[in-house]
Structure formats: C-alpha cells, structure tokens
C-alpha cells in the first residue's frame, strides 16, 4: 500500500491554476445569465481567485486572457496579485474575437491578418516578461466550414510559420503551450484539431513547446488517458485545461460529468511522477460557471482535482504491476478500482488541517460572507464576460 505521508506530501505540493474568465459572466449562444457580484475589473477577478487559494491552499496562480484582462501596467498587476497571495500564471492569447479573424488568424489566407495575429502573440510574450509568467498558451479557433473553402496543407504551413516566429521570441525559461480542439467554432476543419497535430508542431518548434490537453476538446468516446500517457512518454505534456462535459465543449466543473475519467487521467500522471510542479505539467482549470456561483464552483473544482489525484496516489503500484505481469486481468482492474472507490475526503480534510486550513473549504468560504460582500459592493460598472 502507498505510504500515506508521501501521498499527503504530494497532494500538498500539487498546484492548480484557476482561470480569470471563470469569475466573469459566461453562457452559451442562447443566453449569458449575469450574476450578482461578478467582477468588473481584472483586479476584482484576481481578488476572487485569491479566495480559491485562501480556502484550498493549492491554487496560487491565476491564468489571464488577453485582451479580456488587458491593463496598462502588467508589472503593477503582478504586484497587485502578490499582495493578495497569488501570482499571474499562464498568459492566454486571443486571436478568435476580432472581425479580421473570420477566415482565421495565423492560418488566414491574408498575410496582413497573419501578421496582426503574430503581433498579438508576441505582445503576449512581452506581457509574460512583465508578469513573470512562464507559459504562453495558444488556442486557435482557426479552421474552415466547408470543403474547398481553403487548402488544408497550406493552412498548416501558415500556422507553422507563425508559431516559429513566436517561438523565436521566447526567453529560455518560457514555454509555448499549444492547445487542440476537435471543432467549434469551425465545423469542417480545425487547424489544430487533435493531439497529433499539436505534437507535430511542438516537435517541429523545439523543446520549449508542449501540448495542452483540454478535457472538453475530444470526440465523444475518446480515451483521453491514452493520449495523456503518450504525451507524457514523449515528454510533451505541457498541461491540462481541466473541465468536464457530457456532450461537447460544455466547460462544466472538472470531474462533475465523469469523475472516473478524471481519475484514470491522473493515474497516468501519477505513474509518470508528474504531479509535482517540477515535472512541468500545468494543471489549469478552464471552465464556465454559467448558472452556479463562480467562486464556490472554482473551489469545488479544485477539490475534485485533489480527490481524483488522491485516489490515483493510492493505487497500489506494486500489486497492480504484479497482476499485470501475471496476466491477472480481474485482479489488475480490482487494484485500480480499490483506489478509485476509496473515500479520500477524510485524508484531504486532514491535509487541510495540517496546512492550517478549514477541512471544508466550500463551507468556510460561505461562512466568510465574501460572496454577499461582493454582491453588495459591486454595483454599477460593466460586469466582466467574454465580450464576444
């Protein structure tokens, strides 16, 4: 059986990054339901993100999205975050909301549009220099809607050229994380639709490029942990955008739709000894709390990742290997299910007490009255959202 002290140490060292945009209003093409107390500024988003770290102890960084979180002084923004016990994390570029990008950004047939997109991506690296962020995360909505609309290979050439230009701008300690997505908003081809396409571009660029696995970006039935195992084996798993889905890119709370899948994914990460931050796998949440309160939703999401990680750390690796070696199919499956069926909540509650935190972060947050305070204070102004 795994050593519980080692398991708690690993859980205490895990770091989960929250996305600034989870605190803004989000929805679907049908409706965005505004909520009381939603931030109007990036500073208020950071204040809300700091609440997640305050009660979980494992979420000390906030991913930003440019221009949703654009400010005049990024060094000052980093200082603002520091004063609240967090730091600016991954910088997400946005080349999917400008009218010029209708036919694509870096893969657009028009070289002027491509140049505009590359300029934005490079600007995001400048921002990383100011905030001290290590990772530039790139997701491209680029693609086509009809066969014949554009040349698939030519778009890959344009994409590769743009990525190489941005890659050359990275400082030695900085990384480019390339996220893939099967479809939406493009509905015939997407220029980075799957892990293989992202990996090919990353390998062509160099060692500072790695793949991001957004758990909502696959075709139904995709074995995501297989992809994770492959990327870990290739040393190119840069990180996760955690969320969950029943159908498409639903961006629901991680682990809500399929906690067993999340466990299987983290089992592969644990086996590769890649839970520890030094392994270079960024654990990020990428979610939208369309109808539920956003800060408790983020806290719950961090707990869901912790619980799945704890179960994965409790897998009896020796017993599993023995059963696998001897071809004892049922025993091998049973060893894994024993860990998955273990109630790890007492273990995590104990860890929080060891960290000087309340064993029940969601309840502690509600008792703080922070939610009521911001609902009362944040009157007027324009609530944050995706602005699309």
Q: Residues 112, 121: contact at Cβ < 8 Å?
A: no
Instruction: State the binding string over 10-49 for ligand LRH (x if CB under 6 A, else -).
Output: -----------x----------------------------
Instruction: State the binding string over 259-298 for Mn ion (x if CB under 5 A, else -).
Output: ---------------------------x------------
139 counts as binding ligand LRH under rule CB under 6 A: yes
Distance CA 220, CA 210 (A): 24
Q: How far is the CB of 181 from ligand LRH (least distance, A)?
A: 6
Which among Mn ion, ligand LRH, none contacts residue 69 (Cβ within 5 to 8 A by kind)? none
245 counts as binding ligand LRH under rule CB under 6 A: no
150 counts as binding ligand LRH under rule CB under 6 A: no
Write down the residue that tokens 């950004």 correspond to.
Answer: 105
Q: How far is the CB of 212 from Mn ion (least distance, A)?
A: 7
Residue among 241, 267, 309, 361 that touches ligand LRH (CB under 6 A): 241
241 counts as binding Mn ion under rule CB under 5 A: yes
Q: Name the closest residue to ligand LRH (Cβ).
A: 139
Q: Residues 315, 267: contact at Cβ < 8 Å?
A: yes
What is the total count of residues that contact Mn ion (CB under 5 A)?
3
Q: How far is the CB of 42 from ligand LRH (least distance, A)?
A: 15
Nearer to ligand LRH, 139 or 283 (CB): 139
Which among ligand LRH, Mn ion, none contacts residue 181 (Cβ within 5 to 8 A by kind)? ligand LRH
244 counts as binding ligand LRH under rule CB under 6 A: no
HEC-encoded secondary structure of the chain: CCCHHHHHHHHHHCCEEEEHHHHCECECCCCECCCCCCCCCHHHHHHHHHHHHHHHCCCCEEEEECCCCCCCCHHHHHHHHHHCCCEEEEEECCCCCCHHHCCCCCCCCCHHHHHHHHHHHHHHHHHHHHHCCCEEEEECCCEECCCCCCCHHHHHHHHHHHHHHHHCCCCCCCEEEEECCCCCCCCCEECCCCHHHHHHHHHHHCCCEEEEEECCCCCCCCCHHHHHHHHHHCCCEEEEEECECCCCCCCECCCCCCHHHHHHHHHHHHHCCCCCHHHCCEEEECCCCCCCCHHHHHHHHHHHHHHHHHHHHCCCHHHHHHHHHCCCHHHHHHHHHHHHCCCCHHHHHHHHHHCCCCCCHHHHHHHHCHHHHHHHHCCCCCCCECCC
286 counts as binding ligand LRH under rule CB under 6 A: yes
Nearer to ligand LRH, 191 or 241 (CB): 241
What is the total count of residues that contact ligand LRH (CB under 6 A)?
9
Nearer to ligand LRH, 192 or 320 (CB): 192
Stretch touching Mn ion by CB under 5 A, among 103-111, 158-166, 238-246, 371-379? 238-246
191 counts as binding ligand LRH under rule CB under 6 A: no
Structure-block tokens of residue 83: 């004063």
Q: Name the closest residue to Mn ion (Cβ).
A: 241
Nearer to ligand LRH, 106 or 323 (CB): 106
Q: List residues near ligand LRH by CB under 6 A.
A: 21, 92, 139, 179, 181, 214, 241, 249, 286
Residues in contact with Mn ion by CB under 5 A are 214, 241, 286
């Amino acid at each position: 059986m795994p050593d519980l002290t080692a398991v708690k140490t690993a859980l205490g060292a895990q770091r989960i990054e929250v996305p600034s945009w989870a605190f803004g209003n989000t929805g679907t093409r049908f409706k965005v339901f505004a909520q009381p107390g939603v931030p109007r500024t990036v500073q208020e988003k950071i204040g809300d993100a700091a609440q997640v770290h305050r009660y979980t102890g494992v979420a000390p960084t906030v991913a930003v999205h440019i221009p949703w979180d654009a400010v005049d002084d990024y060094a000052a923004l980093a200082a603002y975050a520091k004063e609240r016990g967090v730091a600016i994390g991954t910088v997400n570029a946005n080349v999917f909301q400008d009218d010029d990008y209708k036919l694509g950004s870096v893969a657009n047939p028009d070289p002027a549009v491509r140049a505009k997109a590359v300029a934005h991506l490079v600007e995001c690296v400048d921002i990383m220099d100011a905030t001290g962020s290590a990772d530039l995360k790139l997701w491209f909505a680029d693609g086509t809607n009809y066969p014949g609309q554009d040349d698939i290979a030519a778009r890959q050439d344009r994409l590769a050229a743009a990525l190489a230009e941005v890659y050359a701008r990275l400082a030695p300690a900085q990384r480019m994380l390339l996220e893939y997505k099967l479809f939406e908003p493009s509905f015939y081809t997407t220029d980075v639709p799957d892990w293989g396409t992202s990996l090919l571009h990353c390998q062509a660029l160099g060692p500072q490029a790695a793949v991001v696995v957004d758990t909502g970006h696959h075709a139904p039935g995709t074995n995501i942990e297989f992809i994770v195992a492959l990327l870990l084996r290739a040393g190119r798993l840069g990180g996760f955008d955690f969320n969950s889905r029943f159908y498409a890119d639903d961006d629901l709370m991680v682990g809500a739709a399929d906690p067993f899948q999340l466990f299987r994914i983290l089992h592969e990460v644990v086996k590769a000894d890649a839970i520890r931050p030094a392994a270079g796998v960024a654990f990020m949440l990428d979610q939208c709390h369309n109808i539920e309160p956003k800060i408790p939703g983020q806290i719950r999401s961090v707990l869901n990742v912790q619980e799945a990680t704890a179960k994965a750390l409790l897998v009896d690796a020796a017993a599993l290997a023995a059963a696998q070696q001897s071809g004892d199919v049922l025993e091998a499956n049973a060893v894994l299910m024993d860990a998955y069926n273990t109630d790890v909540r007492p273990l995590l509650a104990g860890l929080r007490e060891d960290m000087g935190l309340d064993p029940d972060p969601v309840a502690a947050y509600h008792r703080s009255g922070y939610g009521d305070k911001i609902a009362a204070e944040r009157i007027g102004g324009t609530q944050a959202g995706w602005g699309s």
